[in-house]
Amino acid sequence: MPTRARERGITLIETLVFIVVVTVALVAVLKVFNQSISASVDPLVRVRALELAQAQLDEILARKFDENTPSGGVPACDSAGAPACAGIVADSDYDDVGDFNGYSDSSYSGYTVNVIVSSAGADLGLAANLARRIQVNVSMPDGDQLTLSAYKVNF
């Protein structure tokens, strides 16, 4: 009696096991891919917040130290022969650092810029009224905050 050649192929069970294994692996890979895609926007949000904070800080630092500081800054207010410094008094002309205390801007969609100006001479080993700390806070759409600070000294 002739023997039949052994048939080759895969069984239904082997096919089902293969499909299950590939599906599990594919789901794991897609989860990792999805997470990386959703987090890829985060650096853009932070860069935009940093740009807003830096632009606001640069604008403030370009102003004179005090309302009574003359053009060019010499002589510095509160120095010999110069008028007394007015202090941190906000007014609407934004011509000195103190005018920005309490400033808030929410004209950028999802971002809010807030500014705090305080006397900070002691931080630098000076009399309190001889330096101002400028703090710019930017609230981002995801609820995080970014803060930049700088000092302006009465020279």
pLDDT tens digits for range 37-54: 766 667 888 999 999 999
Chain length of the chain: 155
| Exposure string for 9-29, b = 16+ CB within 10 A, e = fewer | eeeeeeeeeeeeeeeeeeeee
Higher pLDDT, 39 or 8: 8
Residues sharing a CB contact under 8 Å with residue 132, sequence separation 6 or more, in sequence order: 65, 88, 97, 98, 117, 118, 119, 120, 151, 152, 153
Task: Evaluate if residue 1 carries a pLDDT over 60.
Answer: no
Interatomic CA distance for residues 17 and 121, integer angstroms: 73
Residue 140 pLDDT class (50, 70, 90 cuts): very high
pLDDT tens-place string over residues 60-72: 999 999 998 887 7
pLDDT at 63: 93
Residue 152 has pLDDT above 90, yes or no: yes
pLDDT at 91: 85
